[in-house]
Amino acid sequence: MNESEPAYRVLSGELRREIAAGRYRGGVRLPTEAQLSEEHGLSRQTVRRAFQDLVAEGIVYRVPGRGTFAIESDGRYLRQLGSIEDLMNLSADTTMRVIEPLTRRIDVDVASRLRLDTDVVYRLVFARLHDGVPFVVTTVFLPQRVARPVLDAPELQSGATSEHTIIGLLEPHLTHPIGEAAQSITVGAASPRVAAELGCAEGHPMLRVDRLYSDTEGLATELAVSYFLPEHYTYRVTLRRSGR
C-alpha cells in the first residue's frame, strides 16, 4: 500500500478487488458504513467517500433502507485504473500465462522508446486470464539491466501460470521503485498469434494499450504493448481535479 494514498482510496480499492473476486455476487449486500468504519478504524465520512467513488465508477449501487450492492457484470473483465498500485493489483483477480519467456534480441525501435544506449532488449509474451478466460495478450520489452535479475524466475518461464504482474516481479530488483506509467490507447487489429490466443478472428478490432514504465529517477524500466479483446474487457479511468 502507498502510505501517501488517501484512506478512502485504499478502502475503495480493497472493496473493488473483493467485488471483482465475486465476493458479493448474487445480491449479497456489502458491509454497511458502520461495519466498515469499525473494521478499518476509519471515520464514517471516509467510508462514505469510498462508496461514492464506487457508485461513480458504476461498480455498486445503493438502495435506501437496504444497503449497497455490486452491479452484476455482463461477463467482461472490468478494471478501474488510477495509480501504479492499481496496475500491480491486477494479480488480485487475474492469472498470467507465459507464452514466450524472456529472450534477448536486437530491436532498434523498442530500444529508442526505452531511451537506451544500446539496441539490446529482452522480450516476453504472455496472456492474462479472468475466470479462466483470456482477455489480453501483452508483449513486454525490458532493458538488459532490468531483465537480468529475473531471467530465471519460474513465473516467467514458457507455459508458467501465476498470479503475478511483471512490474510486481521486477520492482524488488530495481534500484528505484516505479514512479510513472505513460499510457497511450489506440485501436489495433488482432495478429495471427493474438487471434489464436484469444479465440477471435485474425484482423479482429482490438483495444491496444501501450505503457512505458519509468522509475522515480526517470529511467525507463518496461515497455508493455497489450491487445485487449473488447468483448471481454472494459477499461475505466477516473480523472480527479489536481489538489483535491
Q: Where are the domains of the chain?
A: 7-70, 77-237
pLDDT of 23: 86
What separation in angstroms does the CA of 3 have from each of 83, 132, 172, 174, 217? 13, 33, 18, 20, 20
Was domain 7-70 assigned CATH 1.10.10.10? yes
Is pLDDT larger for residue 22 or for residue 201?
201
The pLDDT assigned to 100 comes to 96
Could you give the C-alpha distances from 94 to 17, 107, 127, 130, in angstroms and in order?
Answer: 11, 30, 10, 5
The beta strands (E) that lie in the chain are given as: 60-63, 67-70, 77-81, 95-106, 120-130, 133-143, 161-162, 178-189, 205-215, 220-228, 233-237
pLDDT digits (tens, 9 = 90+) for 122-141: 999 999 998 788 999 999 99
- Which set of grid coordinates corresponds to residue 167? 512490474
**Cell digits for 7?**
484512506
pTM over 0.75: no
User: Nearest to residue 97, comparing CAs of 60, 51, 134, 64?
Assistant: 134
Residues 6+ apart with CB under 8 A from 179: 84, 214, 215, 216
70-125 pLDDT per residue, tens: 876 655 555 555 555 655 555 556 899 999 999 999 999 999 999 999 999 999 99
pLDDT tens digit sequence for 52-65: 888 877 788 888 88
Return the pLDDT at 3.
57
Digit-coded pLDDT (tens) for 172-224: 999 999 888 899 999 999 999 999 999 999 999 999 999 999 999 999 999 99
pLDDT at 92: 57
Of 3.40.1410.10, 3.90.1150.10, 1.20.120.1200, 3.40.50.720, which CATH number belongs to 77-237?
Answer: 3.40.1410.10
pLDDT tier, 21 (very low <50, low <70, confident <90, very high otherwise): confident
